[in-house]
């Protein structure tokens, strides 16, 4: 069934949310940047991606249990979960060759398959099997084969959470190792952004399944007020100020200028014309939220060769449309957006992934991002009460701000993980605003922080490009060497284990 037809079948409450998201940029979630390594970089799949990947990857479907943690009749409902395998480089079960597993996040898995290159590009030197697993309720891995039908059912969507997703991954990986007769093949799980959090949590919750984890741009410390709520926008501000002091000053002054013009007779019409909006502005906040979103997006995904922050600032400083503040700001919008018939508040129908992430935000993934006094933005603090009100209206649920740290931990993480955690790489790029909630210091000899000053969101796990700078190449190489050390130690331990088992068997036979 097409997405259009599915949306026509939405119940009134979800349909209202979809329409609201389509036309209202002031919806609270819109200014909370998505945890997606690709969202700010990719608008659609490359036209050649399917053909280029089809020869190497095979698609499979696992009959997955809806509820792993209860035994009510409805818990045994099943759905088909999609995963893909590349056997090309695998050394085989006889040598216990490793398995690289990418843990999908809040998007259809084909996007990860097309743009996340770390696994495939390093598989040959490890002789690794490459597996991509789609997150439940995204892409094709949806109960009833209908996202809308699943999300509108309160009993079904209650199983749409990270803990169930981790159990899904564990089931599939255990199943694959059994099917491939590869009980001793070490598994390395890899993920970016929300998927990076899943990878680290998977290693902690399922150490018997995964030998290690690469968690790229995983803001584990942005829950439950461990990190100050304004840290994200402080980094956005730092990125712009480092690019250009004059650009930073222009942006900082622009909010007051927008308010000044908006207060005039026909002020909103003037702003609509000045910024060539796609629809007439109904409130100055519409324009402000749009600008905030592109500045945050530019910082989060600031990467070579485009370097969007610098691109925006160059346009603002040059002021090709005029030297006044608003003309300069509009120049930055054009530089960011490219040639377009209109720029601000375009009509964009949210995808099923967008709506799925709204649910996850309302249920458990509550990351408190707010703007206080130490940024180039106007003050707008995050309040739990506003999110609770919206989530109760749209989904009938109250967010659980403490659940993530209760179930996975996060407070005093260095003290905790150095006692029992092992084999996790937390990688970050410091130009990524979400790095403010990331782990940036080594916790132990095997729980390691690898970061680059110039890196951005989950850049290290994306496919390598000829234009990649040396610092990015070095970051990936460092991660590969760490994983090599984990696997080498595992093989040494495995050999000792087998030799000891043989010795014990011989001793028992003699007796």
Among all residues, which ones are annotated catalytic? 193, 432, 457
- Nearest alpha-carbon partner for 87 in 78, 97, 79, 77: 97
Handedness of CA 191, 196, 199, 202 (dihedral sign): negative
Handedness of CA 436, 135, 406, 369 (dihedral sign): positive
The 3-class SS string of 119-184 reads HHHHHHHHCCEEEEECCCCCCCCCHHHCHHHHHHCHHHHCCCCHHHHHHHHHHHHHHHHHHCCCCC
Tell me the C-alpha distance between 37 and 30, whole Å: 17
Residue 78: CB atoms within 10 Å: 11
Handedness of CA 414, 416, 422, 423 (dihedral sign): negative
Contact 118, 461 (CB under 8 A): yes
Contact 166, 27 (CB under 8 A): no
DSSP character at residue 380: B
* Residue 466 tokens, joined: 């000829």
- Nearest alpha-carbon partner for 285 in 510, 30, 468: 30
**Beta strands in 340-438, from DSSP E residues, in sequence order:** 424-429
DSSP character at residue 16: H
Contact 81, 136 (CB under 8 A): yes
Angle between helices 284-300 and 267-274 (to 10 degrees): 30
Strand partners, 19: none
Tell me the C-alpha distance between 245 and 252, whole Å: 10
DSSP character at residue 454: T
């Amino acid at each position: 069934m097409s997405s259009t037809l599915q949306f026509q079948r939405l119940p009134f409450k979800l349909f209202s949310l979809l329409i609201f998201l389509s036309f209202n940029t002031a919806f609270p979630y819109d200014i909370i940047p998505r945890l997606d390594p690709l969202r700010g970089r990719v608008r659609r799949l490359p036209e050649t991606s399917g053909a280029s990947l089809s020869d190497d990857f095979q698609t499979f479907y696992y009959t997955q249990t809806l509820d792993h943690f209860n035994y009510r009749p409805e818990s045994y409902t099943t759905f088909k979960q999609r995963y893909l395998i590349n056997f090309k480089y695998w050394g085989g079960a006889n040598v216990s060759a490793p398995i690289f597993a990418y843990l999908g996040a809040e998007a259809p898995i084909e996007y990860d398959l097309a743009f996340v290159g770390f696994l495939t590009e390093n598989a040959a030197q490890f002789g690794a099997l490459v597996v991509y697993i789609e997150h439940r309720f995204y892409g094709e891995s949806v109960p009833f084969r209908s996202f809308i039908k699943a999300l509108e059912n309160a009993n079904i969507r209650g199983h749409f959470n990270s803990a169930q997703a981790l159990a899904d991954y564990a089931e599939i990986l255990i199943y694959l190792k059994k099917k491939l007769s590869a009980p001793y093949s070490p598994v390395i799980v890899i993920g970016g952004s929300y998927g990076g959090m899943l990878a680290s949590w998977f290693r902690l919750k399922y150490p018997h399944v995964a030998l290690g984890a690469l968690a790229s741009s995983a803001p584990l410390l942005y829950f439950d007020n461990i990190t100050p709520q304004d840290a994200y926008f402080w980094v956005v501000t730092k990125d712009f100020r480092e690019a250009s002091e004059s650009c930073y000053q222009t942006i900082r002054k622009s909010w007051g200028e927008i308010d000044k013009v908006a207060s005039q007779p026909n002020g909103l019409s003037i702003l609509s014309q000045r910024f060539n909006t796609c629809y007439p502005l109904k409130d100055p906040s519409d324009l402000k939220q749009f600008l905030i979103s592109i500045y945050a997006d530019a910082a989060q995904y600031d990467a070579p060769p485009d370097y969007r922050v610098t691109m925006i600032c160059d346009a603002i400083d040059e002021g090709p449309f005029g030297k006044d503040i608003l003309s300069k700001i509009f120049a930055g919008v054009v530089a960011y957006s490219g040639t377009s018939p209109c720029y601000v508040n375009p009509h964009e129908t949210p995808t099923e992934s967008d709506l799925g992430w709204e649910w996850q935000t309302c249920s458990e993934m509550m990351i408190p991002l707010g703007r206080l006094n130490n940024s180039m933005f106007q003050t707008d603090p995050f309040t739990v009460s506003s999110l609770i009100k919206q989530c109760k209206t749209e989904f009938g649920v109250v967010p659980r701000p403490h659940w993530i740290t209760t179930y996975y931990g996060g407070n005093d993480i260095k003290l905790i993980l150095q006692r029992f955690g092992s084999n996790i790489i937390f990688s970050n790029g410091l130009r990524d605003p979400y790095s403010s909630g990331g782990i940036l210091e080594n916790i132990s000899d095997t729980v390691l922080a690898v970061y680059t000053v110039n890196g951005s969101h989950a850049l290290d796990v994306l496919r390598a490009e000829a234009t990649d700078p040396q610092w990015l190449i070095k970051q990936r190489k460092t991660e590969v060497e760490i994983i090599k050390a984990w696997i080498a130690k595992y093989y040494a331990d495995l050999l000792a284990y087998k030799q000891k088992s043989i010795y014990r068997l011989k001793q028992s036979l003699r007796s």
